[in-house]
Amino acid sequence: MSGSVSPLAPKTFTAMPALRGVRMTTASAGIKYKNRTDVLLMVFDKPAAVAGVFTRSKCPSAPVDFCRKNLAHGSARAVVVNSGNANAFTGLKGRQATELTAKSAAAAVGCSENEVYLASTGVIGEPLDATKFAGVLDTMAKDAVSDFWFEAAKAIMTTDTYPKVATRTAEIGGVKVTINGIAKGAGMIAPDMATMLSFVVTDADISSSALQTLLSEGVGPSFNSMTVDSDTSTSDTLMLFATGAAAADGQAHIDRADDPKLAGFRAALNELLKDLAIQVVRDGEGATKMLEITVTGAESDAAAKRIALSIANSPLVKTAAAGEDANWGRVVMAVGKAGEMADRDKLAIWFGDVRVAVNGERDASYSEEAASNVMKQQDIPVKVDLGLGNGRATVWTCDLTKEYVAINGDYRS
In terms of CB distance, is 110 or 360 closer to its own copies?
360
Minimal distance in Å, beta carbon 282 to its own copies?
A: 18
The answer to whether the Cα torsion of 377, 380, 384, 389 is positive or negative is: negative
Asked if residue 315 lies in contact with residue 231, where contact means CB atoms within 8 angstroms, the answer is no
DSSP 3-state of 193:
coil
Q: Which amino acid is at 128?
A: L
Residues 96-155 that bind its own copies (CB under 8 A): 123-127
DSSP letter string over 132-183?
Answer: HHHHHHHHHHHH-BSS-HHHHHHHT-SS-SS-EEEEEEEEETTEEEEEEEEE
Of 83, 212, 232, 251, the residue at the interface with its own copies (CB under 8 A) is 232
Residues 286-325 that bind its own copies (CB under 8 A): 313-316, 319-320, 322-323, 325
Cα–Cα distance measured from residue 371 to residue 94, given in angstroms and rounded to the nearest whole number: 51
In terms of CB distance, is 329 or 381 closer to its own copies?
329
Number of residues this chain uses to bind its own copies (CB under 8 A): 73
Catalytic residue among 167, 195, 227, 401: 195
Of 164, 330, 383, 392, the residue at the interface with its own copies (CB under 8 A) is 330
Question: With 0-12 CB in 10 A as exposed, 13-18 as middle and 19+ as buried, what is 35?
Answer: exposed
Residue 393, strand partner residues: 295
Q: Does the annotation list 99 as a binding residue?
A: no
Asked if residue 317 lies in contact with residue 311, where contact means CB atoms within 8 angstroms, the answer is yes
DSSP letter string over 241-269?
Answer: EE--GGGGGTPPPB--TT-GGGHHHHHHH
In terms of CB distance, is 69 or 402 closer to its own copies?
402
Interface region with its own copies, contact rule CB under 8 A, candidates 10-18, 38-46, 183-191, 247-255: 183-191
Decide: is 337 part of the binding site for its own copies (CB under 8 A): yes
Minimal distance in Å, beta carbon 74 to its own copies?
A: 26
24: phi then psi, degrees, rounded to nearest 5: -145, 160
Of 6, 82, 90, 98, the residue at the interface with its own copies (CB under 8 A) is 90
Residues 383-402 that bind its own copies (CB under 8 A): 400-402
Q: Does the annotation list 58 as a binding residue?
A: no
Decide: is 404 part of the binding site for its own copies (CB under 8 A): yes
In terms of CB distance, is 100 or 406 closer to its own copies?
406
Is there a catalytic annotation at residue 195? Answer: yes
Annotated binding site: 158, 184, 195, 285, 408, 413
- Give the residue numbers annotated as catalytic, written as ranges: 195
Annotated binding site for substrate: 158, 184, 195, 285, 408, 413
